[in-house]
Structure 1
C-alpha cells in the first residue's frame, strides 16, 4: 500500500513536471513520454528492468486514458457551445417576434407621423448605444 501511494505521488509529480515543459511534451508521442517518465523514476528509485517495464506500461495506459478523457471533455464543451448557440438564436428569434408584435400594436395606437418620429428616435438611440459600447471596448483594450 505504501509503495502504491509513493508510486502515485511520483506519477503525479512526473505529470506536473511534464506540464511545466508543455512544449516538449506536445512534441513527444505517448510512448516517448511513458519511456521518459519510467526511465526518470527508475533512475531516482533504482528500479530493476522488470519494474521499469511495468512502470512504462502503467504510464502508457495512464497517458492514453488522460488523452481520451481530454478528448471527451473537448467534445462535451463543443456540444455545450453548439447548444448555447442554438439557444441564443432561439432567444433572438423570440425577441424579434416580440419586437414585431410590439411595433404592430404601436402602429395601431400612433398616427403615421408619430410612428415615423418614433422610428427615428429608436434609430438615434441604437446609434447612441453603439457608440457608447464602442467607447467601452476601446477603454477596456
Structure 2
C-alpha cells in the first residue's frame, strides 16, 4: 500500500513540474524591444523557410515595422488602462479594430508573397495558420478558466 502511495505521489509531482515547464511566457516577449522581437522572429523564419540573406534583410525590415507598431499599440492600451479610460468597446469600435487588423494581415500577406518563393510562401502560410490555431486554443483555454 505504501508503495502505491509513493508511486502516485511521484507521478503527481512529475506531471506538475512538466506542466510548469511548458507554460508560455507572454511577459518575456513584451519586455523585449521591437528590434529584439523582429530579430528573433526573422531568425525563426530563416530556419523554417530556408531564407536567403537578401530575403532575411527584407523580412527583418518588415518584422521591425510590425514589432514597432505592436509596441506602440501596447503602450497606448497600457496608457489608457492606467489613466482609467478603458471601457468595453462598442460593436462599431470592435468592428473597426477587427477591420484594421484584417487590413494589416492582407498587407502583410502581399508583402510576404513578393519576398518569398512560391514554395516558401506555402510553408509560411502553413506556419501562420498553425500559430493562429495554437493561439486560439490557448485563448479558449484561458477563457474557460475564468
The TM-score bracket by the shorter chain reads 0.3 to 0.5
Give the TM-score normalised by structure 2. 0.37
User: Larger radius of gyration, structure 1 or 2?
Assistant: 1
Higher relative contact order (CA 8 A, sep 6+): 2
